[in-house]
A = this chain, B = another copy of it.
Amino acid sequence: MRVTDVEIVRALPLFSGMQKAHFETLIAAGYVQRFPHKVALLHEGEKPNFLHVLVEGSIEFSSESRGRETTLSFLKPPGAFILAAVILDQLYLKSARTAEASMVVLIPAEAVRDVFDRDPAFARAVVAELAVRYRGIVKDLKNQRLRTSLERLANWILAHDEECGRLGSFTIPIEKRALAHLLGMRPENLSRSFAELADIGVEVRGPIIKINDRAALAELAKPDPLIDDPRI
């Protein structure tokens, strides 16, 4: 493993507080793997053998049932994933695939559970990570239950613009079909929703979105910090 990769992992809140010796145990047991675009890393229903840490690229999490499929989230580096399944040693509830060429550090689940029992700082970090993720999904569920797909899109645009520095314009970081699935809608409906937003000054040119009338968009979206604010 390259030194810079180790440093990226060490810098994660999940690992930064733990004892040096324990971290080195984990890293020694782990290894790095590179994956091309659109490769399946994990399939829902399987047992986890490794805690995954995304160092480079991005990962899409999805789930499937009765022939239907939905995207639950995307992960950008750096970040650990499938922590809950590893901790509980239970089946994955989601599938994961690369959304671009990615580099992932794999740490044996057994080692994680082991160190978790011995390093209080690591245990605290795991708790914080889980608590944050938990709250993230509560927000997703509220988003899904309390809003129409048009409203979810409007709020996503506002939130993403915020994330990009409130420039009023940004490039969609994923395919539109992937965005549709992330927002819990079909690609056809995403197109129609963009067309509707054009009326209130949202300009869409290919993957570029421009907000011409933020007030109007916010009026439609009615953003709610308890759903949309990633810091809360």
Interface residues of A (CB under 8 A from B): 44-45, 63-66, 68-70, 72, 83-85, 87-88, 90-91, 93-94, 116-117, 120, 123-124, 126-128, 130-135, 137-142, 144-147, 151, 184, 222, 224, 226-227, 232
Contacts and interface: CB of A to CB of B under 8 A. Distances in A.
- How many identical chains are in the complex? 2
Contact of A87 (B91, B127, B222, B227): B127
In this complex, which of A91, A135, A184 has the most chain B Cβ atoms within 10 angstroms of its Cβ? A135
Contacts of A45: 226
Nearest to A143: B65
Nearest to A141: B141
21 contacts: A63-B142, A65-B147, A69-B146, A70-B142, A72-B145, A84-B130, A84-B131, A84-B135, A87-B127, A91-B232, A93-B138, A93-B142, A117-B120, A126-B127, A127-B130, A130-B130, A134-B137, A137-B138, A141-B141, A141-B144, A144-B144
B138 A72 contact: yes
4 shortest A-B CB distances, which residue pairs? A84-B131, A130-B130, A70-B145, A65-B146
Interface of chain A: mostly helix, strand, loop or mixed: helix
A39 B184 CA distance: 34
B65 A227 contact: yes
Nearest to A132: B88
A146 to B, nearest CB: 4
Contacts of A120: 117, 120, 123
A94 to B, nearest CB: 7
B90 A232 contact: yes
Contacts of A133: 134
Nearest to A138: B93
